[in-house]
Amino acid sequence: MSLDALRDTIDLLTKVPVLWVPGLVCGFLAAVLWLLLNQTGPFFAGRLLIIFSLLALFFIIGMLSIIKKSDSTIRMILADGARNYFKVLVPTLVLVFGILLVFVMVVLTLTMVGSKPDAGLLTFLVFGVVLPTVALTFFYDTAVIFEDKKVFDSLQRSINLVTANLLEVILFFAGCLLILISISFTLMILWTAILADQLEPITRYNQTQLQALAPEHLAQIIGQEGVWITALIIFAWMTIVIPLIYTYKACFYRRIAGRIAPIQQQIGEYDSKGRWYKY
């Protein structure tokens, strides 16, 4: 099923070029954020990250709506992005704050008993809480767009689909990982080849120097030209990855959602003769 969804993805991206628009927007925002990070530092860039993330979500929602309606206009991206924005934003915030709450509660509990959080605990929280939560609720946004689910209904729908199609979902995640690795590796080779002269001194670093190498130090090594080239690579990465992953996600969701009907609980009661009356 994941391969069939991948074929649908390639077919859609070739026949509906407007699906690449959100990738272009996200790529532009990511490149601008990288440039600002190197020009003004993390304080200003960190605040813009939140604004840019909300703006990127707007275009991604519009892209999912286009896939649902088989439309091919930028106007539809803007119209449906605005119409469904808060429907997707609210469960997104519920997930983010829920995960943050778990981290805060664990840290506060350890602090109260006189213990300090360490790397092992952080690893446990990431692999024991964050990754399973993200995996189970991965399709909440598509549930909102494709089935018009409410906040908690969309989360429940995603969990039901993932647990009912566990093997197919694992293969889907493997496909996403393969896409990300392939694109990242290809662009990394291109980036290294273009900046080979600037990066050459790093090859003479010892293990201690490599461990101490920070992003700001890397920016100093590659220079202003290297910073701009890195921005172009980031732009290309986002432009390719966003349409591919989200279109793949939508196509995969359409296939598994058609097999698992939503669970609808009927509300009513039985009378004294055992007859059911639905409210």
Sign of the CA dihedral 166, 169, 174, 175? positive
Considering the entire predicted model, what is its pTM?
0.84
The answer to whether the CB of 221 falls within 8 A of the CB of 198 is yes
* Mean pLDDT (whole number) for 255-262: 66
Distance CA 83, CA 226 (A): 40
User: Hey, is 260 helix, strand or coil?
Assistant: coil
Distance CA 143, CA 192 (A): 40
Q: Phi/psi at 80 (nearest 5 deg)? A: -75, -30
Model confidence over 121-132: pLDDT tens digits?
A: 777 777 888 888
Bridge partners of residue 17, in order along the sequence: none
Q: Is the pLDDT of residue 25 over 70?
A: yes
Distance CA 129, CA 90 (A): 20
Q: Where are the domains of the chain?
A: 2-89+166-258
Model confidence over 185-214: pLDDT tens digits?
A: 999 999 999 988 888 888 788 778 777 777
Residue carrying structure tokens 């921005």: 231
Name the pLDDT band for 260 (thresholds 50, 70, 90).
Answer: very low
Distance CA 107, CA 118 (A): 10
For position 214, what pLDDT does the model report? 72
Sign of the CA dihedral 257, 1, 20, 44? positive
- Pick from 30, 123, 22, 154: nearest CA to 80: 22
Model confidence over 123-162: pLDDT tens digits?
A: 777 788 888 899 999 999 999 999 988 888 999 999 999 9
